[in-house]
Amino acid sequence: MAAPASYRPRPGEIPTEPGVYRFRDQHGRVIYVGKARSLRSRLSSYFQDVSALHPRTRQMVTSGASVEWTVVRNEVEALQLEYSWIKEFDPRFNVKYRDDKSYPYLAVTLGEEFPRAQVMRGAKRPGTRYFGPYTHAWAIRETLDTLLRVFPLRTCSRGVFRRAEQSGRPCLLGYIDKCSAPCVGRVTPEEHRAVAEDFCDFMAGDTARFVRDLETRMRAASQALDFETAARMRDDVGALRRALERSAVVLPDSTDADVYALADDELEVAVQVFHVRGGRIRGQRGWVSEKGAEDLGSIVEHLLQQVYGGERGEDVPREVLVPVEPTDVEDLEKWLAGIRGSRVSVRVPQRGDKRILMQTVARNAQQALARHKVARSGDLTLRSQALQELQDVLELEDAPLRIESFDISHVQGTDVVGSMVVFEDGMPRKSEYRRFIVRQGTGDDTAAMHEVLTRRFRHLVQAPGGEDGGGDIKFRYPPNLVVVDGGLPQVNAAQTALLEVGVADVTVIGLAKRLEEVWLPGQDFPVVLPRTSESLYLLQRVRDEAHRFANTFHRQRRSRSMTVSQLDGIPGLGPARQQALLARFGSVKALRRVTVEELVEVPGIGPAVAAAVIARLQGAEEALAVNLSTGEVLD
């Protein structure tokens, strides 16, 4: 670790304007990103007496090797640039106030010709309307199942929709009137889109209009003595009311707000948020994060920055209610307004219903922090103990804060693949996992391990550190320890690969499955760790995760090769055209039912190639009836 004084800028070099700064370690990796109204004042605070700094800040500055900054015009630009850099570099010492769990949303794909309602996770997609987030996917499915009675829009996948189109028969939901069955032309695209838009209006809070309309139609049918229709309308009204009962009314109908609350101690902070739309609680989320040296105002600012920075404008509500006023609240409101496209209010509720709701959210946060403390009370201690044990047993200079593990997977030498998983501070770092397709394609595990290690560490030697070296910066960050799955042969192959590319300062070990022995390169006897030791448990977790990741990739490769194998060898049909056909028709089974005319509609597929596909898949009799040179069907 470096002394902060070794890279401290001269005071006159640091500007007094607002800006964003980055700390880098000795390998050029960005380890912290921050912003400041005055760069000189903020950066100078990091280079005071190290013993006076917060422990996390002290660890950051001693891990750093350089600091750089970028001047901007105002603090709104600083917020934008800080968020962009945190998202790009994922710095280790920036506290993450969002959990890594992907919460489910109820999504309606309005960008498609026939919009579909479904459960979605992950990044938002253009042309899709989202409602939520929800805590559980089953809650979305229950709500959707209830509302499909009134709003019978499509919920099926593309494959099911395409098969129904081809067969002319709707799926079960079409038969029981929970889908308007646009796949068989029961409604026009315009009529189906109108149903989807009404569904979105209802979910967005415009509920009273639909209930009034159904009640009016029910009374009209009753007066006309059409009691069957009236009964159906009555049941539809009941379905809408059941769906409304599941989301409690807490604020006036016009209120769209996100209500945040925090509960913290010296080390961690629990966050809870209730999403209120149309006065009703539409979703709730919560997570626990590490707590740095920031005060609660800075925590709230960075929390909102991370929650809304990657979202679309419509996901930012008109009001954001917080327990403590964030630092630079005016600049934060301007930034959020730029995302939303209209004014956003960030404030602390002082009285009334909003204050009462804030207290409810705060109780949830306090309970979440208490549950987290009980469940995780020993984890930090045990991880530190495991890393310290590994340092002592393997005689390392420092604790192995970054461990990389490699494994090979294949079936009798076919589809040979390798995996690399990364653990930092004893926890998996899934964003830095890597997969390898072994080019030599033999069943020799040691040769495959040699190739994978060579390819991984060549990046480290050829382009060491820095963001201007090209390639993947994370991939060029060196580990403290390399773990391979296997015994002495695999360890020696891994050590040889590292020495050949010029890496001599990384420790390599192997963990053999049978007796869980730790092997070191060139040693005749293994190191045997106690069965109950935390260090052995950590190595097993790392090894098993690499094994799981390699097997998953191998199954994907094998499944894909088996899927397209029936298309291999067709003249003019390479991998790109095979994928185009499968993307269009869904499967090889579906291709057996298509005609030449349908095949030539696929970009890149000409009449001759289409005829060759039919000749292969639809049998010899069909082949005889097709002219392979022109693609024309013969009489």
- 3-state secondary structure labels for all residues of 234-282: HHHHHHHHHHHHCCCECCCCCCCEEEEEEEECCCEEEEEEEEEECCEEE
**Quick check: is 629 in a domain?**
no
The range of the structural domain enclosing residue 509 comes to 384-560
Could you tell me if residue 77 is inside a domain?
A: yes
Q: State whether 185 and 135 are in the same domain.
A: yes
Q: What b/e string do you get for 315-346 counting C-beta neighbours within 10 Å, with b at 16 or more? A: bbbebbbbbbebbbbebbbbbbbebbeeebeb
For the sheet containing 30-36, what is the strand order? Answer: 30-36, 19-24, 66-71
> How many other C-beta atoms can be found within 10 angstroms of the C-beta atom of residue 560?
13
Domain co-membership, 552 together with 584: no
Residue with tokens 């040691």: 446
Q: Is the pLDDT of residue 252 over 70?
A: no
pLDDT digits (tens, 9 = 90+) for 475-532: 667 889 999 988 888 898 899 999 988 888 889 999 887 678 898 988 888 888 887 7
Are 269 and 414 part of one and the same domain?
A: no
Q: What is the pLDDT of residue 341?
A: 84
Angle 60-459-405 from CA coordinates, rounded to 5°:
70
CATH number, residue 288: 3.30.420
Cα–Cα separations (whole angstroms), residue 553 to 217, 437, 547: 56, 9, 10
Same domain, 149 and 58: no
Predicted confidence at residue 482, as pLDDT, reads 94
Where do we find the tokens 């679309």? 312
pLDDT digits (tens, 9 = 90+) for 371-406: 777 665 446 677 788 888 898 888 888 888 899 999
Are 63 and 113 members of one domain? no
Are 68 and 32 contacting, i.e. CB atoms less than 8 angstroms apart? no
- Residue 345 pLDDT: 92
Return the SS3 of 428. strand
Domain-embedded: residue 100? no
- For residues 230 and 262, membership in a common domain is answered with no
For 8, the token pair is 């401290």
Question: Which of 376, 410, 441 finishes a domain?
Answer: 376
Is this prediction's pTM over 0.85? no
Beta bridge partners of 154: 116
Domain end residue (candidates: 542, 560, 578): 560
- Region 119-134: mean pLDDT is 78
Q: Quote the pLDDT of residue 135.
A: 61
Cβ atoms 322, 346 nearer than 8 A: yes
Question: Do 488 and 598 lie in a common domain?
Answer: no
Note the pLDDT tens digit of each residue in 199-212: 888 877 667 777 78
CATH assignment of the domain containing 586: 1.10.150.20
Angle 158-163-169 (CA atoms, 0-180°, nearest 5)? 120
In one letter, which amino acid is 390?
L
Count of C-beta atoms within a 10 Å radius of residue 467 = 13
Average pLDDT over residues 581-591: 79
* Amino acid residing at 115: P
**292 falls within a domain:** yes
The number of folded domains in the chain is 6
Determine if the peptide bond prior to 526 is cis (ω within 30°). no
399, 474: one domain: yes
Query: 251 in a domain, yes or no?
Result: no
Q: Please say if the pLDDT value at position 23 is more than 90.
A: yes
Structure tokens at 470: 């090209």
Between the two ends of the chain, the Cα-to-Cα distance in Å is: 82
505 plus 574 within the same structural domain? no
Overall average pLDDT of the 150-168 stretch: 88
Q: Is the pLDDT of residue 605 over 80?
A: yes
Q: What is the pLDDT of residue 630?
A: 44
* pLDDT tens digits, one per residue of 55-64: 778 888 888 8
In this structure, are 192 and 223 located in the same domain?
no
Q: Does residue 294 share a domain with residue 220?
A: no
| Burial class of 550 by CB neighbour count within 10 A (0 to 12, 13 to 18, 19+) | buried
Domain membership of residue 633 (yes or no) is no
Structure tokens at 417: 């693949």
Contact 291, 299 (CB under 8 A): yes
Same domain, 51 and 142: no
Asked whether residue 156 is assigned to any structural domain, the reply reads yes
Identify the CA nearest to 294 among candidates 284, 283, 286, 302. 302
Q: Is there a domain that residue 486 lies in? A: yes
User: What per-residue confidence (pLDDT) applies to 466?
Assistant: 41
> Which of 560, 577, 592 is the last residue before a domain boundary?
560
